[in-house]
């Protein structure tokens, strides 16, 4: 098996990371793991780096985690290089999913933050007085629709009025408020 890098082709022989000859002596496994690390880690980290948009820190983190998972296995791996690349590919997918979740959370938080209206207490009192000056038959549907967030159908059901009447009342309330605002501005 060979792995092609940018400039060279490096042969990768299978390395047995199975049980050591002497169960009490971990040196053969440690030596094989160190040899595999020296040969494969730079290529694996470089490949991951290219895939994750030249982020060195993430590339080394993913490549290191792939090796940790390989060495933590209790069973023999026939093709450790393939195993490392498969684990790294899965870790890259997890990384991209995390980035998507983070972006979604940030966009939701910023959308909520930008939706906050700027409150002017003096203007609030004026608007409250304007709405309060509306007759009750116009004020109730106006508050339910614009401040309560109810649909016209729901406002009609709550007030036990036909939808057409609610629409006409909303139109009349807007017209009165528009006239009152124009008079107060002049």
For residue 13, what pLDDT is reported? 42
Out of 90, 115, 140, pick the residue that ends a domain. 115
For residue 1, what pLDDT is reported? 41
For residue 9, what pLDDT is reported? 39
Chain-centre distance for alpha carbon 113: 17
**Coil, strand, or helix at residue 45?**
helix
Residue 9 has φ and ψ, to the nearest 5°, of -115, 120
For residue 5, what pLDDT is reported? 42
pTM for the whole structure? 0.47
Two tokens, residue 52: 């994750």
Out of 68, 100, 115, pick the residue that ends a domain. 115
For residue 164, what pLDDT is reported? 95
Residue numbers of the chain with a pLDDT score lower than 70: 1-27, 74, 108-125
Domain count, the chain: 2
For residue 36, what pLDDT is reported? 87
Q: Which domain does 130 fall in, by range?
A: 121-185
Task: Decide if 93 contacts 62 (C-beta within 8 A).
Answer: no
Q: How many angstroms separate the CA atoms of 142 and 157, rounded?
A: 14
Task: Decide if 52 contacts 92 (C-beta within 8 A).
Answer: yes
Q: Are residues 110 and 27 in the same domain?
A: yes
């Amino acid at each position: 098996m060979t792995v092609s890098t940018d400039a060279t082709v490096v042969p990768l022989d299978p390395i047995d990371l199975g049980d050591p000859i002497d169960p009490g002596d971990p040196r053969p496994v440690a030596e094989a793991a160190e040899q595999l690390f020296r040969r494969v880690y730079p290529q694996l980290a470089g490949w991951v780096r290219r895939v994750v948009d030249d982020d060195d820190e993430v590339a080394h983190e993913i490549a290191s985690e792939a090796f940790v998972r390989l060495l933590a296995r209790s069973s023999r791996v026939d093709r450790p290089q393939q195993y490392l690349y498969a684990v790294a590919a899965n870790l890259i997918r997890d990384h991209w999913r995390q980035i998507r979740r983070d972006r979604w959370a940030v966009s939701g938080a910023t959308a909520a933050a930008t939706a906050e209206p700027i409150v002017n207490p003096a203007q609030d009192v004026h608007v409250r007085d304007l709405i309060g000056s509306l007759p009750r038959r116009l004020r109730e549907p106006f508050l339910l629709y614009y401040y309560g967030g109810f649909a016209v159908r729901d406002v009609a059901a709550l007030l036990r009025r036909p939808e057409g009447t609610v629409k006409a009342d909303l139109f009349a309330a807007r017209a009165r408020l528009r006239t009152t605002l124009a008079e107060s501005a002049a």
